[in-house]
Structure formats: C-alpha cells, structure tokens
Amino acid sequence: MAKITAAEVNKLRKATGAGMMDCKKALVEAEGDFDKAIEVLRKKGQKVAAKRADRDSSEGAAVSKVNADNTVGVAIVLGCETDFVGKNENFLALANELADKAINFDNKEDFLASDFGGMTVADKLIEQTGVIGEKLEINSFEKLEAPYVGTYVHINKIAALVGLTSKNEVVAKDVAMQVASMGATTLSYKDFDPAYIASETEARIAVIEKDNIELGRLGKTLKNVPQYISMAQLTDEALAKAEEAAKAELTAEGKPEKIWDKILPGKMQRFIADNTTLDQEQCLLDQNFIKDEKINVAKYVASAGDLSVTSFKRVALG
C-alpha cells in the first residue's frame, strides 16, 4: 500500500474542498495517484447526487459579478438544500468563483459544460455534492450587457443587475436595489401585450368584486373597483372622462370653482394611482421609487440627467 503523506492529503483537500479523512481515503484507494484520487471523490459525489436527486435545492447563495469596465454583468444562484450550508464560507467562496467564470458565457448550458480545473462545471457541482453531502445545482443564470452595468446583492438571497445608457454608480445601485426589493418583471407598461392587460383587468376586477360581497356582508368598507389597471389603458379620452367626473364630484361637494386647480391635480394623481396597479407591481420604471415614494423610478432616473435604464435582471433563492 502506497504511503500517503500529510502534504498530499492537504494538496487534495485544497483542490477539492473535501475533508481531510475523505482525501486520505481517496488517496489510499487510488494508491497515491492524485488524479485518480480526484476521480474517486467525483464518483462519491455521483453516488450522493443520485441519492439526493429528488431533494429541493431552494437554499444557497445569489451572487453577481460585473467585468472590469462595467459593461457586462452576470447573476447566478448556487442552490443547496439547507440554509446552514448556504451560509458556509467555503460554499460562498465556490459560488463567487463560479460567478467569476459564468461572466464569460451567454447561457447556463454553455457555462455548465465549460472547464473548471480539469473538469466541467457540472462535474464540479457533482464532486462538491459528495464533499458537502447536499444537492448542489445552478438554479438561476442571468447575463446583462449595457454601456454601464451596476449590481446589488441582498444578503446573498437576491442579486440584481441593471443596465444604464451611461455611467452613474449611484443611480445604478439605487435602481438595482429597487429591482431586488420590488421584483419587477418588465421595464415599462409599454412592454405589455394588450391581450394580457385585458385578461388581467377582468381577473383583478372579479377578485375585488368577490371580496366586496364578503366585506358588504360584514358591514365593512368596500374596496375600490378600478376601471383600469395600467397606464396603457389611460388614453386621453379616459383621462378626460376622469377629470370631468372629478369636477362633478367637486361641484356636488360645493367646492368653489376658483379653487379647483388646487384640488384637481391631487384627485387625478389618485385616479392614476388607483388605476395603474399592474404597472406598479410589475413595471420597474412605473413603480414608486423606494427611496422617495412621491416619484416613480423613471422620474428618479431622469433627475440624474441624460440617463435611462436599458434593461435589468434579477435572481433569487427559492
């Protein structure tokens, strides 16, 4: 039997991240051959991975990387089974090392097939499944390119990327924080398909009307039933009708016409807010800005000068 030295064990441990005893056993089984020992550990990982294939890898770490000139960014989620492993320093180091490599690829498939120290990334995940004892996989992979890319990571649970038309570190971080916290799905209400808006309007109104039946039975205040849910529906005609209705309301309240110009803007702003709930939930530029809810994200970005958001990406655990 080959004599296994502490230096050889340590070398294998550093290369694979496996425990000292596992490394020693692998070297013994491989009769001191370093490459064969790595293969032994990889096969152990395959066995563990097969046993844990049906496990849920909803924990882990969300990380992002941006290249040196801030024109390309990538965000990935390295998934595992438990929060305990997800917070482990070695696991986080692996997630960041993977992100460093991921930035060179356009999609998850090519990334998983790429080289990682003599094996593919996919094989590395299998190897580390054997080392850690939990199912590991790349749950999310998003890449973004723009004249300027910024990022924000929230306690390794959510990672966001934002593309701007020019460099502005403060705006990039603020908007990335918005993406991370508010979970927009599209850039603007202008991106919505009319058919989607129509079906969503019908569905939302039906839910509110159903809720109001129960609220009415209990003698509670009824919810407002919106006419619309997106700015895409608020044509000049719709806004004109809303303004006429607001004026009729002021007349009924006995408000003198000379003060209407002070009251109408607030009523119209409220009408728009009540009738653009879809935009506020899903459209980044139309959401209330988290640092100043008196303005939306589009107005915040515009306040920085000749600047606009080109795109965004978001990954999260779960």
What are the 10-residue block averages of pLDDT along the chain, 318 residues in total? 75 72 79 79 67 79 96 97 91 95 96 92 88 89 98 96 97 97 94 94 92 92 90 94 92 90 91 92 95 94 95 94
User: What pLDDT sits at residue 47?
Assistant: 67
- Are both 13 and 73 inside the same structural domain? no
Instruction: Let me know if residue 240 belongs to a domain.
Output: yes
User: Distance between CA atoms of 276 and 229, rounded to whole angstroms?
Assistant: 4
Considering the domain architecture, whether residues 73 and 171 belong to the same structural domain is answered as yes
**1 inside domain:** no
Strands (E) across 84-136 are located at 115-116, 119-120
Domain membership of residue 142 (yes or no) is yes
Using CA atoms, how far apart are residues 313 and 162, in angstroms rounded to an integer?
Answer: 7
Q: Which residue has the tokens 């719709």?
A: 238
Residues 172 and 216 in one domain: no
Task: Identify the H or E element spanning 195.
Answer: helix 194-217
Domain membership of residue 87 (yes or no) is yes
Backbone φ, ψ for residue 107 (5° rounding): -150, 165
| 72 & 164 share domain | yes
Give the number of domains in the chain: 3
pLDDT at 202: 93
Q: Which residues on neighbouring strands pair with residue 29, listed in sequence order?
A: none
- Domain end, chosen from 188, 220, 242, is at 188
Residue 54, both tokens: 């049906």
127 and 203 part of one domain: no
Q: Is residue 101 part of a domain?
A: yes
- Do 82 and 97 belong to one domain? yes
Q: Are residues 200 and 303 in the same domain?
A: yes
State the pLDDT at residue 11.
Answer: 80
Whether 202 maps to a domain, the answer reads yes
Same-domain pairing of 301 and 236 = yes
Domain-terminating residue out of 141, 168, 188: 188
> Tell me, what DSSP letter sits at residue 283?
B
Where in the sequence is the domain holding 267, given as residue range(s)?
190-316
Same domain, 195 and 99: no
Give the end of a domain, one of 188, 204, 224. 188
The per-residue pLDDT for 45 is 64
Which strands make up the sheet holding 137-145, listed edge to edge? 59-66, 72-80, 137-145
